[in-house]
């Protein structure tokens, strides 16, 4: 196994997946390596050491892997934002735009108490649609977002700008050019 110096080095690119012209940034290779995963989790949570964080919210689906690990390291609770129909119990929903249609994410209506300090975590920031929907759900419950933390930023797709325009602090570990 080669020695990798940065989180970015662990991420493979798969051309033309899931469609022609897309350069898919595959973080499963990062997750599969214990050093890479540790490095990513440490870098996701490092800016918040000493900050008040009450819960980590992970966005469907790879945000669950990262968010759970970050929550564990911060000794706080973890809350999933899921695709519609996946959570039992009472939920609130938020629709958002995809490239070819709409999707809906949900959050348990009792998952976050008003005033709780929330860190949002996911693997990749592209257009920002999923993160924006998750943020709206958190804010509807009265949660206060400390920051949004991602491994990969795809700056050409505008997600960071969208979240920053919403007043969000955005932390990313690395970026890749192209879609």
**Active-site amino acid positions:** 62, 99
Q: 179 to each of 16, 65, 127, how far by Cα in Å? A: 10, 23, 10
Phi, psi at 91, each rounded to 5°: -130, 165
Q: In whole angstroms, what is the distance from residue 32 CA to residue 29 CA?
A: 5
Q: 148 to each of 22, 115, 151, how far by Cα in Å? A: 24, 17, 10
Most distant CA pair in the chain, distance: 48
Q: In whole angstroms, what is the distance from residue 45 CA to residue 157 CA?
A: 24
Helix (H) or strand (E) holding 52: none
Query: Beta-carbon neighbour count of residue 168 at 10 Å?
Result: 18
């Amino acid at each position: 196994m080669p020695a990798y110096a940065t989180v970015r080095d662990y991420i493979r690119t798969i051309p033309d997946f899931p469609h022609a012209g897309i350069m898919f940034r595959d973080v499963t290779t990062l997750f599969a390596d214990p050093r890479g995963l540790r490095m990513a989790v440490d870098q996701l949570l490092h800016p918040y050491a000493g900050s008040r964080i009450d819960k980590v919210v992970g966005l469907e689906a790879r945000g669950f892997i990262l968010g759970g690990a970050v929550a564990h390291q911060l000794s706080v609770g973890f809350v999933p934002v899921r695709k519609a129909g996946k959570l039992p119990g009472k939920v609130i929903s938020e629709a958002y735009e995809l490239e070819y249609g709409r999707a809906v994410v949900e959050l348990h209506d009792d998952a976050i108490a008003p005033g709780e300090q929330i860190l949002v975590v996911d693997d990749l920031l592209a257009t920002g649609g999923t993160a924006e929907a998750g943020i709206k759900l958190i804010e509807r419950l009265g949660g206060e977002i400390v920051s949004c933390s991602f491994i990969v930023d795809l700056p050409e797709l505008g997600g960071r700008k969208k979240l920053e325009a919403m007043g969000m602090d955005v932390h990313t570990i690395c970026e890749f050019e192209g879609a």
